[in-house]
Structure 1
Amino acid sequence: MDNSRINILKDRLSGELLTDDLSRMIYSTDASVYRKTPLAVAYPKSNDDLKELISFASESEIGLVPRTAGTSLAGQCVGDGIIVDVSRYSTEILKLDPVKKQVTVQPGVVRDELN
């Protein structure tokens, strides 16, 4: 992948897009035994960031790998495309209805926070 294209994507995001070796290595594994070094790691701050990432991935024919806690035991959280980690900025509990026992959360909310 051409670095200039990645830099253009970085400029379009309000969140971060990391391409350094350390960040990519940290995200090359999850709780499973599988390893794949991603092209980049994104921390989207907004829905607009997610739209930019999806458009970029579609145009570039590369995969997006959604990730939060990285607890998969079967390698679903690793890949050679762009890891999209929503655990940094998308962690709000949006709506809680105890009567209906329903909750609406952003994708970065983990069970321990919800409980």
Structure 2
Amino acid sequence: MALTVTLLPDALIRLASDLDGEFHSGDLVRRIYSTDASAYQELPLAVAIPANESDLRKLIAFASNHSVGLIPRTAGTSLAGQVVGTGIVVDVSRTFTKILEVNRDEGWVRVQPGVIRNELNMAIEPDGILFGPETSTQNRGMMGGMLGNNSCGSNSIKFGSVRDHVLEVTALLSDGSKVVFGSLDADQFAAKCDGPNTLETRLYRDIRDCLSEQETRDEITREFP
């Protein structure tokens, strides 16, 4: 693993030594990651380039134990400071770059967040599949950032935004647990709410409780465009 050493607190030094990937706290790397394609700039505490899922879990555990924010980042092409902050930047653009599965019959693909939008479409074109949302940075923008930003682009009138194309999202929660979010019918949602007392279950219960309030439902109906 690569480590840029400066005067780090002991906890950060231990974290850096425990990762398989890279961990940088030097001024140069932090300044490189202090901005995106916008005018916003904030110096992060450090920059991590995880090598695998184990590294991600270690970073999440550290953030939870030390009340430090994690800032997921791919290409950094966002225009409104979405990946700028004072926490630890977690750059997944270099190692999480695989197209994991292509299902031609059902017309879907499973990808990691560091897959570039144009490269995805070039790879799946022979299978007759197209990922429609098209941003101006399509030759370098990555799927993780497009998902987090709900990107759309000039073709959104025809293809919609990213959320219109997402079937499932596999995620690591703040306790390190891996979950899969997808469409649920009423019975499936109720089963999620009645599950064991995990963070995932509590999230579903919070959604249920929030949407059970008539005032909230009326506001959504009134305000949603």
Quick one: distance in 1 between partners of 2:80 and 2:95?
A: 25
Q: Percent identity?
A: 55
Relative contact order higher in (CA < 8 Å, ≥ 6 apart): 1
- 1:1-115 equivalences under 5 Å are 3-115=9-121
User: Where do 5+ consecutive residues of structure 2 fail to align?
Assistant: 1-6, 122-225
Aligned-pair distance for 1:2?
A: 5.2
AA paired with 1:71?
T
* TM-score (ref. length: structure 2): 0.50
Quick one: distance in 2 between partners of 1:10 and 1:28?
A: 20
Structure with the higher strand share, 1 or 2: 1
Structure with the higher helix share, 1 or 2: 2
Quick one: distance in 2 between partners of 1:40 and 1:112?
A: 30
Structure 1 residues 17-26 or 105-114, which shifts more?
A: 105-114
Aligned-pair distance for 1:11?
A: 1.0
Aligned-pair distance for 1:110?
A: 1.7
Quick one: distance in 2 between partners of 1:113 and 1:41?
A: 26
* TM-score (ref. length: structure 1): 0.95
User: Where do 5+ consecutive residues of structure 1 fail to align?
Assistant: none
Q: Which of 1 and 2 has greater Rg?
A: 2
